[in-house]
Chains A and B, each alone.
Chain A
Amino acid sequence: MSKTVFEWKEVTKTFPGVRALNNVSLSLHEGEVHAIVGENGAGKSTLIHLAAGVYMPDAGQIQMLGGDSYSTPIEARQNGVVTVFQESELFDHLSVAENIALLQGLPIDKLGFVDWAQIHVSAQAYLQQLPEPIDSKVSAASLSVAQRQMLQVASAVAQNAKVLILDEPTSALSATETTWLFEQIAQLKRQGAAIVYISHRQEEIFGLSDRISVLRDGQLIWTLPLEEVTGHSLVEAMVGRRVNLGQQRTIPDLTAAPTIFSVRELSDISGAVPEVSLDVKAGEIVGIYGLVGAGRTEFAETVFGVRERQAGDVFVDGQRANPNNPKEAVANGIGLVTEDRLHQGIFRWHSVSENAVAAALPALGNGVLTSDAQEQTATARIQELLSIKFSSSAQAIENLSGGNQQKVIVGRWLLNRPKVLILDEPTRGVDVGAKEELHNIIAELAADGCAVIFISSELPEVLRYSHRTIVFRDGSISGDLNSQEATAEQVAELAFPVSAPEENSHSTQQSFDNKTSLLNRYLTEVGLAAIAVILMIVLKLQNPSFDFAVLFVNVVPWAILGLAAAIVIVVGAIDISVGSLLGLATAAGGIVMTSGLPPILSIVIGGGVAVFVAIAGSLLNAAVSIWGNVHPIVVTLGMLYAFRGMVSVLMNGESITDVPDAFTWIARYGSFPTSLIYGALIFISVHIFMTRHHRGRHLYVVGNSEVAASLLGIRKPVAWCWAFALSGVLVALSGLLQLATTTQMQSTLGETWELDAIAIAVIGGVSITGGRGTVVGVALGALLLKSLQAVLLQFQASAGRIKLVVGLMILIAITIDHLSARHLARRTAKQQAATGRASQ
């Protein structure tokens, strides 16, 4: 008897409106490959999310050998359970090595400093397992989907995982990579691990697995050893014999009906839909069946104009429609009920009637004005037509049941009297009664002459309620059957590819050139340095006696303030009050220093007070943003003025003069510019913190992806507090340096400085979306900005002109950042689809 290493024990999991898993018990044996098979929505995804520690079961237990239980993804991993999801969320701007390390928690010493040597050594160990080398220092964003998956598999092997769960692994891999994957699986088997293999590819299932389990509608149908399973018994178990032909609806005689919707060789630019041709008649109900990744939703989106069409035509009622956006689609008489009701369909906090009329506003008004009366009438009409249950049409749609919400969405499109209506998974998350009602509505709609297409992952539903069944497989149509005559097995076999994926144009061998030269990796910094050098040359040419030392000394306090702004931006927030906060902190410190205490004491206490005030102000901003739930821009905008007022009150019309001589030494000792050392020390310390301390790394992690960070147990509030607190310290240090340099202070110190600070950060390569930026970059950004301002001054530009240039620099920097992010996103989408997988 084989040893059980992992068990799902009587597990039940329910989500709002649907029971995903119902009392499922499944065990994994040592050294086996266990295939889990089922249709979409059968519960496979939930099963693996439970194993991965992402969800907790409502009933039952997840158990490791030895009885260890866990409740978070990071604990799951530490217990040896590695899950390779189809979509693995990585921290794009962090290196491959760091991403690998984060999965298990960064290795740190007692003081919290990260052991980079170990991170690289471990990463190398994993990366060596891959068929093609990847440089561990490149950013994760440059990895292809296939590489991401292989990386996870490699780490499982190197880690000696006890359970490896693979969710549709070969959909993104080429033939060579698939072979490599099977070798890793064999290796893991030898090591005694259990491998869970979720796939619909029969050749792989029968070629690899030792035992097979079938899930259907959240229940385990059976678990059998390979020898006892045939292709037919597998398909039969997956779809079940639930189609009761007696209840089949009558298919009307449509021979005389006109073809009202026609698609010819339609393809989209990402390649998810390589070529589809389809005809639907008026009054016909077409059901589209297929598995995840088959391209059904992508097809609907291309028809509707949401996805960019590459080639092919869409005809509605004989006219060429070819919509380029939803507006054109609607104008041509097409409607689309989207798959994801929550994110793409409803306006949650808007009322039922506002949701109902959203697509029909032009028709329900008087010219440009809206008409309450007409909207109410329309809402009442669809309520009656579709039997929607709500207490008042002014009620928020959020409060309705899933079924009723869906009816409102369907009703929304009915108001437009579409010629063609596409419904993507219309009965998902809807109870049985409402399901039947929705299909009645669809039938009536067709009877009125509309061409209806509904996409569904439930085979019985497709066969029962449609006239024709179209099967999608890997982006094209693999079958077009009469729903009354077709059998479930026929359809299922058309949808499940039996043979291994061919080496066709989808899975082109994309040899990703991850090897980046040193130049490429530090492109931003090199570019900045180059521009700064050019500016300095211009300065020298204009004025041969220009003293660069003066420039560098001037740059220091600005660079420190810029760094303060940058750190907050890196973590994903923004602080436009840094200038006024600087004024406040410096005023507080300056008052203490000039209060008549003995010099050394007054300097120390004054400095401490300044730092304290700045940290307090900054943390106040952080706290209100996090727990008050208000965007930092509003909080820091209000506090900007509040701090400014406080400075005025504190200084009460006087200025601060005569700071102790000893204090001015941080700026200048005799003729030696000590401020350069002051600045250098600060920059080096912050650099070490941001690159070598785990708290610093967490700032980048949270800035990259809050969601992925929280899965690793790295929480946003903590990271934000650290960022704002550090920012506060730097604000104070910048202000103190200013005070030491000019030896006096007016109440207007710091006013409007936040603009320069943010400009320095943004020019220095800190991305406004967070998660990216370096200390060196900020320093160079400061040098660049101040050199530019010096050049402008030499050409006698006014203060206004300089401000104008600063604003333009920010605009240029964010435009470049935006364009490069968009380019990267496009490239990723293209190659995701090119490897035969649909992006979700």
Chain B
Amino acid sequence: MNRKKIQSTALSLLVPLLLLILALLIVVTKVERPSALIQTGVEWMEVGTLAMAMTAIIITGGIDLSIASVVALCVVTTGVLFDQFEWSFPASAVAAILVGTLAGATNGYAIYKGLSPLIVTLATMAVFSGLALSITPEAGIQMPIALEEAIYFGRWPAQYFVFASIFCIAMVGLHRTRYGRTCFYLGENPVAARYVALPVNQVLFGVYVMSGLLAGVVAVMYVMSRTTAIAIAHQGAELKVIACVVVGGTLITGGHGSIGRTLLGLCVMASLDISLDLMANDYLWMDARVKIIVMGVLVVAIAVWNQWLAKRLN
């Protein structure tokens, strides 16, 4: 590897690392009840799980704006099947995951047939979210408290273990299998990828199906730990998920990136979130609204920085 590439790699890791260190410093100095962080982190473990699939999608040069809505749809499906149709919880959970997979397959089908991922997932975002809203009461469906206990393994909720497992699977899947490698080739040069007989259509379809499947899994965990099945579950999560991928250093243009980098991005986003919350105790103006401004601007700023670094490398 030449010096320029090493420099650029180092630079692209620099910004997220700095942010991470800054955020961790704040957290460590200001946290009062460390055990409470476990609860706060649950949401980010769910986001992280979704980000695993989003990484692959962005590497292929696409995007999935509907991911939060698929989660919502699956959440609501679980609730409705359990409450109104009186299915057992395990059965409802499996059905929800199937629904998520189907939703992902719908996206995947339209996209591998040639429609633009951006507008397809923008439309399906509305379709799935609308569907979720229409089959459930506004206040959501209450689920039995027992579920909340079931999700704990000792002191840690299942989300952590699920994320860790999905992370390992994604690491191997994206970086060590033929199908994962195809994502990279496809994102870089879709024409050449077809000429070398790579399974382009299968992969294009598959990454969106994965995304839907993971959304289903996250939905089940959500229902268990929040004990409500509500249609606004994980509203706005698509920004958080995309932020994890972009802040980690993966290029939006596709062809490059890694699961490891998304993990870094996830750590940055999660710790920023927690540190901003802690700061809000002392500085009342730093509330939820400021948080989303920061997040929005951060995603854009780092995307620009990454693009500039990539250009510099050439």
Asked whether any CB of chain A lies closer than 8 Å to the CB of B307, the reply is: yes
Asked whether any CB of chain B lies closer than 8 Å to the CB of A755, the reply is: yes
> Which residues from A are CB-within-8-Å of B23?
none
Closest beta carbon of chain B to A774's beta carbon, Å: 19
Tell me whether A818 and B114 are in contact in the complex, defined as CB-CB below 8 angstroms, given that A327-B199, A358-B198 are known contacts.
yes
Cross-chain contact B197 with A369 (CB below 8 angstroms): no
Cross-chain contact B231 with A638 (CB below 8 angstroms): no
> Which residues from B are CB-within-8-Å of A642?
292-293, 296-297, 300
0/1 string, A317-329, CB within 8 A of B gives 1: 0000000011101
Which of these, A630, A641, A815, contacts B239 with CB under 8 Å?
Answer: A641
0/1 string, B97-131, CB within 8 A of A gives 1: 00000000000001000111011101111111111
> Which residues from A are CB-within-8-Å of B188?
347-350
Tell me whether A370 and B178 are in contact in the complex, defined as CB-CB below 8 angstroms, given that A306-B194, A641-B236, A641-B292 are known contacts.
yes
- How many Å lie between the Cα of A637 and that of B294 in the bound state? 13
Closest beta carbon of chain B to A298's beta carbon, Å: 15
Closest beta carbon of chain A to B68's beta carbon, Å: 12
Within 8 A of B (CB), among A609-667: 624, 628-631, 633-635, 637-646, 648-649
Residue of A nearest to B125 (CB): A807
- How many Å lie between the Cα of A347 and that of B79 in the bound state? 47
Cross-chain contact A814 with B255 (CB below 8 angstroms): no
Task: Give the number of A-B contacts (CB < 8 Å).
Answer: 218
Asked whether any CB of chain A lies closer than 8 Å to the CB of B35, the reply is: no
Cross-chain contact A800 with B246 (CB below 8 angstroms): no
Asked whether any CB of chain A lies closer than 8 Å to the CB of B295, the reply is: yes
Cross-chain contact A811 with B110 (CB below 8 angstroms): yes
Residue of B nearest to A358 (CB): B196
> Which residues from A are CB-within-8-Å of B292?
641-642, 644-645
Asked whether any CB of chain A lies closer than 8 Å to the CB of B87, the reply is: no
- How many Å lie between the Cα of A811 and that of B122 in the bound state? 9
Closest beta carbon of chain A to B257's beta carbon, Å: 12
Which of these, B65, B256, B294, B303, contacts A628 with CB under 8 Å?
Answer: B303
Which of these, A354, A631, A640, A805, contacts B296 with CB under 8 Å?
Answer: A640
- How many Å lie between the Cα of A330 and that of B181 in the bound state? 19
Cross-chain contact A370 with B296 (CB below 8 angstroms): no
> Which residues from A are CB-within-8-Å of B288?
648
Cross-chain contact B296 with A639 (CB below 8 angstroms): yes
Tell me whether A639 and B300 are in contact in the complex, defined as CB-CB below 8 angstroms, given that A576-B122, A645-B290 are known contacts.
yes
Asked whether any CB of chain A lies closer than 8 Å to the CB of B44, the reply is: no
Asked whether any CB of chain B lies closer than 8 Å to the CB of A359, the reply is: yes
Cross-chain contact B116 with A768 (CB below 8 angstroms): yes
Asked whether any CB of chain B lies closer than 8 Å to the CB of A394, the reply is: yes
Cross-chain contact A349 with B256 (CB below 8 angstroms): yes
Cross-chain contact A801 with B130 (CB below 8 angstroms): yes
- How many Å lie between the Cα of A613 and that of B110 in the bound state? 37
Residue of B nearest to A364 (CB): B178
- How many Å lie between the Cα of A534 and that of B116 in the bound state? 31
> Which residues from B are CB-within-8-Å of A361?
178, 181, 198
Closest beta carbon of chain B to A364's beta carbon, Å: 9
Asked whether any CB of chain A lies closer than 8 Å to the CB of B304, the reply is: yes
Within 8 A of B (CB), among A766-817: 768-769, 797-808, 810-811, 814-815
Cross-chain contact A412 with B196 (CB below 8 angstroms): yes
Closest beta carbon of chain A to B88's beta carbon, Å: 26
> Which residues from B are CB-within-8-Å of A343?
189, 191-192
- How many Å lie between the Cα of A463 and that of B83 in the bound state? 80
- How many Å lie between the Cα of A649 and that of B297 in the bound state? 15
Cross-chain contact A369 with B176 (CB below 8 angstroms): yes
Asked whether any CB of chain A lies closer than 8 Å to the CB of B133, the reply is: yes
- How many Å lie between the Cα of A838 and that of B123 in the bound state? 38
Which of these, A304, A629, A814, contacts B311 with CB under 8 Å?
Answer: A629
Asked whether any CB of chain B lies closer than 8 Å to the CB of A727, the reply is: no
Closest beta carbon of chain A to B304's beta carbon, Å: 3
> Which residues from B are CB-within-8-Å of A635?
300, 303
- How many Å lie between the Cα of A804 and that of B178 in the bound state? 37
> Which residues from B are CB-within-8-Å of A640?
239, 296
- How many Å lie between the Cα of A644 and that of B303 in the bound state? 20
Cross-chain contact A327 with B197 (CB below 8 angstroms): yes
Tell me whether A758 and B293 are in contact in the complex, defined as CB-CB below 8 angstroms, given that A345-B195, A634-B252, A822-B114 are known contacts.
no
> Which residues from B are CB-within-8-Å of A629?
304, 307-308, 311
Cross-chain contact B126 with A804 (CB below 8 angstroms): yes
0/1 string, A241-263, CB within 8 A of B gives 1: 00000000000000000000000
- How many Å lie between the Cα of A769 and that of B114 in the bound state? 12
Residue of B nearest to A327 (CB): B197
Residue of A nearest to B106 (CB): A811
Which of these, A338, A359, A638, contacts B197 with CB under 8 Å?
Answer: A359
Asked whether any CB of chain B lies closer than 8 Å to the CB of A362, the reply is: yes
Residue of A nearest to B253 (CB): A631
Residue from B123, B125, B197, B255 with most neighbouring chain A CB atoms (10 Å):
B197
0/1 string, B281-295, CB within 8 A of A gives 1: 000000011111111
Asked whether any CB of chain B lies closer than 8 Å to the CB of A346, the reply is: yes
Cross-chain contact A306 with B195 (CB below 8 angstroms): yes
Residue of B nearest to A633 (CB): B118
> Which residues from A are CB-within-8-Å of B118?
574, 633
Cross-chain contact B126 with A806 (CB below 8 angstroms): yes
Cross-chain contact A804 with B295 (CB below 8 angstroms): no
Cross-chain contact A641 with B181 (CB below 8 angstroms): no
- How many Å lie between the Cα of A649 and that of B289 in the bound state? 7
- How many Å lie between the Cα of A631 and that of B300 in the bound state? 10
Which of these, A347, A396, A630, A805, contacts B304 with CB under 8 Å?
Answer: A630
Asked whether any CB of chain B lies closer than 8 Å to the CB of A713, the reply is: no
> Which residues from A are CB-within-8-Å of B127?
804, 807-808, 811
Asked whether any CB of chain A lies closer than 8 Å to the CB of B224, the reply is: no
Which of these, A344, A395, A637, contacts B192 with CB under 8 Å?
Answer: A344
> Which residues from A are CB-within-8-Å of B185?
347, 350, 354, 358
Asked whether any CB of chain A lies closer than 8 Å to the CB of B221, the reply is: no
0/1 string, A744-764, CB within 8 A of B gives 1: 000000000001001100100
Tell me whether A631 and B252 are in contact in the complex, defined as CB-CB below 8 angstroms, given that A358-B185, A637-B242 are known contacts.
yes
Asked whether any CB of chain B lies closer than 8 Å to the CB of A312, the reply is: no
Tell me whether A634 and B130 are in contact in the complex, defined as CB-CB below 8 angstroms, given that A306-B195, A330-B197, A370-B181 are known contacts.
no
Closest beta carbon of chain B to A386's beta carbon, Å: 18
0/1 string, A491-531, CB within 8 A of B gives 1: 00000000000000000000000000000000000000000
- How many Å lie between the Cα of A648 and that of B290 in the bound state? 9
Residue from A368, A396, A634 with most neighbouring chain B CB atoms (10 Å):
A634
Asked whether any CB of chain A lies closer than 8 Å to the CB of B179, the reply is: yes
Tell me whether A628 and B130 are in contact in the complex, defined as CB-CB below 8 angstroms, given that A361-B181, A644-B292 are known contacts.
no
Cross-chain contact B192 with A346 (CB below 8 angstroms): yes
0/1 string, A159-183, CB within 8 A of B gives 1: 0000000000000000000000000
- How many Å lie between the Cα of A769 and that of B119 in the bound state? 10
Residue of A nearest to B246 (CB): A634
Cross-chain contact A369 with B198 (CB below 8 angstroms): no
> Which residues from B are CB-within-8-Å of A273?
none
Tell me whether A326 and B195 are in contact in the complex, defined as CB-CB below 8 angstroms, given that A628-B303, A815-B115 are known contacts.
yes
> Which residues from A are CB-within-8-Å of B36?
none
Asked whether any CB of chain A lies closer than 8 Å to the CB of B132, the reply is: yes
Cross-chain contact A645 with B296 (CB below 8 angstroms): yes
Closest beta carbon of chain A to B220's beta carbon, Å: 21
- How many Å lie between the Cα of A635 and that of B298 in the bound state? 10
Asked whether any CB of chain A lies closer than 8 Å to the CB of B29, the reply is: no
Cross-chain contact B197 with A637 (CB below 8 angstroms): no
- How many Å lie between the Cα of A487 and that of B12 in the bound state? 60
The 6 A-B pairs of least Cβ separation, nearest first, read A800-B133, A804-B130, A807-B126, A803-B130, A800-B134, A642-B296
Given contacts A634-B63, A635-B300, 20 further A-B contacts (CB under 8 A): A345-B192, A346-B192, A348-B189, A354-B184, A359-B197, A369-B178, A412-B196, A574-B118, A629-B304, A637-B299, A642-B300, A645-B294, A646-B293, A649-B293, A758-B122, A801-B134, A803-B133, A804-B126, A805-B130, A814-B119
Query: What are 10 A-B interface contacts by the 8 Å CB criterion?
Result: A326-B194, A338-B192, A368-B177, A412-B196, A629-B307, A633-B63, A635-B300, A807-B125, A811-B120, A811-B124
